[in-house]
């Protein structure tokens, strides 16, 4: 096993105290505000430019019981991701948030926002209305939504967001994207510098601390990789795909079976950092970027861009296999998966369709299925 990286240890500490992370605590102690956001269609830059710290609502490092949430969101239908967030909200663990910003990407997240705002006491801003396609019409529409979001934030906190501030915030967030891209480019190596589990720690921390500080850590990490020349042994290369995943322990268990998880397509992974905000009118650029035209969310129509994107990732990262984590009741993912699975299989990538709950562990049948999948990739013996 390769030596532990100091920066990764530091990053791990940020996540250890989730949800009220140490950096968030310090931020609040300075009397500053934190805005919780739920879906990647919410432009973080706007929150940052308003002087607040954006904080992403997710589940923690392990699966939790959802007894409270199940009272209010129907457990048979609403995905465990939405119910996990509601559970944490109802338990009061998200009490440090000054307000919540959400969007309307899918049924689970929409109803989470509506039901949540009725039963917990964190104010919820009007949802950003997110179209299900991208064309000029959708960009124009979403531009209006982003402007509305700006106004709502300004009104709620009594602040003004200047154009200078938004340009600066965009530059700061683009820097994160550039550096995360650099980090992922290193993962294209046969002997990647990070494990997938470590990468997930990095991605988790990105949205749980002030961005300036995260960017510093990220630079440090890139530097440390360079100076130590850290690399992991070559192994079959896989991507974990899914709605989103926040539990590094799961990735670690997968990797312990003898594979390297070199990339993902998660909402909190590639989809989060892949695309830059372009130059030009900052508000229009934000609207375009946050509809994720290239690496789109599974709910977007038509599904072609997403299929092409995943196929391209598979080539760029020279993937042997993909584990598609199908969170139960995530209709967009379930209905999108068949659209690209066959194509990737035809291109020689083995795809495992694995149903699992958000935050779910690595036990029994799940383990057997993943192990059998890894054997399909690696058990090459002459009989």
Residues that bind another protein (CB under 8 A): 71-74, 76-79, 104, 106-108, 110-112, 114-115, 118, 127, 129-133, 137-138, 141, 144, 299, 301-303, 326, 328-329, 331-332, 334-339, 341-342, 345, 353, 355, 364-365, 368-369, 371-372, 375-376, 379, 381-383
Strands 237-242 and 260-264: parallel
Q: How far is the CB of 319 from another protein (least distance, A)?
A: 17
Q: How far is the CB of 331 from another protein (least distance, A)?
A: 4
Q: Which two tokens stand for residue 258?
A: 């003898």
Closer residue to another protein, CB minimum distance, 40 or 170: 40
Nearest-5° Cα angle at 1, 378 to 218: 105
Closer residue to another protein, CB minimum distance, 96 or 141: 141
Q: How far is the CB of 123 from another protein (least distance, A)?
A: 16
Closer residue to another protein, CB minimum distance, 29 or 380: 380
Q: How far is the CB of 283 from another protein (least distance, A)?
A: 16
Q: How far is the CB of 370 from another protein (least distance, A)?
A: 9
Q: In angstroms, what CA-CA distances link 264 with 26, 196, 250, 310?
A: 31, 9, 13, 10
Q: How far is the CB of 364 from another protein (least distance, A)?
A: 7
Closer residue to another protein, CB minimum distance, 33 or 328: 328
Residues with Cβ within 8 Å of residue 318, at least 6 apart in sequence: 188, 237
Closer residue to another protein, CB minimum distance, 21 or 296: 296
Whose CA is closest to 163, among 40, 272, 276, 286? 286
Q: 161: phi > 0 → left, psi -120 to 50 → alpha, else beta; which?
A: beta
Closer residue to another protein, CB minimum distance, 21 or 78: 78
Write the DSSP string, 154-213. Answer: HHHHT----HHHHHHHHHHHHHHHHHHHHHHHHTTSSS-SS-HHHHHHHHHHHTSS-HHH
Rounded Cα–Cα distance for residues 32 and 26 (Å): 9
Helices marked H in the chain: 6-16, 22-29, 44-49, 67-72, 80-90, 107-119, 136-157, 163-186, 196-206, 211-228, 248-256, 270-273, 282-289, 304-316, 331-346, 364-378
In this structure, the dihedral spanned by the alpha carbons of residues 357, 330, 244 and 167, taken in order and rounded to 10 degrees, is -150
Closer residue to another protein, CB minimum distance, 223 or 347: 347
Q: How far is the CB of 318 from another protein (least distance, A)?
A: 21
Q: How far is the CB of 162 from another protein (least distance, A)?
A: 25
Query: Tokens 């931020």 sit at which residue?
Result: 27
Closer residue to another protein, CB minimum distance, 26 or 133: 133
């Amino acid at each position: 096993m390769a030596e532990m990286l100091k920066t990764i240890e530091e990053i791990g500490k940020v996540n250890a105290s989730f949800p009220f992370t140490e950096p968030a605590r310090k931020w609040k102690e300075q009397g500053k505000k934190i805005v919780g956001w739920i879906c990647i269609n919410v432009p973080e830059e706007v929150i940052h430019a308003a002087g607040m710290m954006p904080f992403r609502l997710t589940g923690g490092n392990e699966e939790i019981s959802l007894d409270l949430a199940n009272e209010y969101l129907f457990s048979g239908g609403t995905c465990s991701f939405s119910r996990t967030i509601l559970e944490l909200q109802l338990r009061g663990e998200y009490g440090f948030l000054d307000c919540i910003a959400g969007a309307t990407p899918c049924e689970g997240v929409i109803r989470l926002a509506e039901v949540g705002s009725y039963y917990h006491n964190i104010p919820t801003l009007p949802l950003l209305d997110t179209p299900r396609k991208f064309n000029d019409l959708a960009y124009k529409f979403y531009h209006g939504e982003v402007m509305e979001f700006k106004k709502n934030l300004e009104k709620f906190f009594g602040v003004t967001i200047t154009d200078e501030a938004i340009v600066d915030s965009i530059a700061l967030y683009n820097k994160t994207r550039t550096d995360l891209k650099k980090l992922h480019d290193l993962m294209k190596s046969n002997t990647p510098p990070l494990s997938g589990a470590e990468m997930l720690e990095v991605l988790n921390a990105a949205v749980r601390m002030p961005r300036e500080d995260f960017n510093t850590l990220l630079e440090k990490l890139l530097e440390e990789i360079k100076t130590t020349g850290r690399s992991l042994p070559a192994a079959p290369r896989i991507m974990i795909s899914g709605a989103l995943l926040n539990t590094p322990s799961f990735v670690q268990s997968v990797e312990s079976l003898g594979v390297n998880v070199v990339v993902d397509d998660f909402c909190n992974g590639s989809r989060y950092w892949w695309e830059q905000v372009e130059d030009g009118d900052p508000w229009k650029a934000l609207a375009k970027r946050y509809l994720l035209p290239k690496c789109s969310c599974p709910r977007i129509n038509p599904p072609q861009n997403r299929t092409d994107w995943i196929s391209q990732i598979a080539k760029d990262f020279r993937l042997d296999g993909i584990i598609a984590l199908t969170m139960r009741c995530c209709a967009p993912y379930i209905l999108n998966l068949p659209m690209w699975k066959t194509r990737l299989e035809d291109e020689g990538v083995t795809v495992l369709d694995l149903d699992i709950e958000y935050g779910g562990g690595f036990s029994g049948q799940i383990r057997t299925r993943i192990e059998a999948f890894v054997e399909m990739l690696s058990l090459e013996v002459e009989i």
